[in-house]
Amino acid sequence: MNLEDPATESSDQRGKPLHLGIEPHLRGLLGWGIQRVRTAPQFSGVDSSGVDSSSVQAAATSKGSLEQQAATVAECRDCDLCETRNMTAFGVGDPSADLLLVGDAPAEEEDRCGEPFVGPAGQLLDRMIAALGLSRDRVYITNVLKCRPPENRQPQPEEVAACQGYLEAQIDQLKPTMIVALGRTAACWFTGQETSLANMRGQGHIWRGIPVVATYHPAFLLGQPQFKAECWHDLQRVIEALGLTPPGPRA
């Protein structure tokens, strides 16, 4: 990545004041050993899928406010998950938050409540967010899929493809300063890579001008708590880049 490259600089003209100052984040991310920068389709002109970027942007904008998007998602029948879901889980939190956290798909409790990350994984996520010095209502939380896959199985490629426009439009509205991809499905979505989470962790990624940190999914950490230290290492990067003040040690 060339920080002096005007294409890189102009890749953050999305209107939110904090975004105008992305360069410090990029410089911070360079210190993490950035290996790959995914240039925003709307800035490079042509989406990697062959779709013209201006039409991608126009389609996202035409999807309207988050409330309108959530209403559209609630009616969605674009893949088979609509047959088995109880509720869609669109997103929760502060729409003007700097930090967006993205998991893979709603699980049982989320399908019942219509809110992402309210079950056991959500409770761990809440603690991870607290460790950043933030709270659930000061970030925004969503998933790659808005509907629960039966038996909590892995999202299928056709389901991810069917839901892709919703997450794109959602991020277009949210304009976060930084994104944390929780688990492999979200990390693959943002990086465009089909590889292990291990290969995507510890690198700086950029999605449409927004820095993305890939780390472990809280559900994985519930079963494999020995990886929490590595996750915390990843979250340190969020703290540094956003200038957060985590809570100090308990007295």
Tokens read off for 127 = 């603690």
Q: Which of residues 128-167 bind ligand URA (CB under 6 A)?
A: 143
Nearest residue to ligand URA on Cβ basis: 103
Residue 219 within binding range of ligand URA, rule CB under 6 A: yes
Give all strands (DSSP E) within the chain, no chain letters.
Answer: 92-93, 99-103, 140-143, 178-182, 205-207, 210-215
Residue 91 within binding range of ligand URA, rule CB under 6 A: no
- Spatial neighbors of 180 by CB under 8 A, at least 6 apart, are 99, 100, 101, 102, 212, 213, 214, 215, 234, 235, 238
Pick the stretch among 27-35, 60-68, 100-108, 160-168 that binds ligand URA (CB under 6 A): 100-108
Task: Kindly state the smallest distance separating residue 122's Cβ from ligand URA, in Å.
Answer: 6
Q: Which amino acid is at 145?
A: L
Q: Are 111 and 148 in contact (CB under 8 A)?
A: yes
Residue 73 within binding range of ligand URA, rule CB under 6 A: no
Tokens read off for 184 = 């492999």
Residue 121 within binding range of ligand URA, rule CB under 6 A: yes
Residue 216 within binding range of ligand URA, rule CB under 6 A: no
Residue 104 within binding range of ligand URA, rule CB under 6 A: yes
Give me the residues that bind ligand URA (CB under 6 A), please: 89, 103-107, 110, 116-117, 119, 121-122, 143, 219
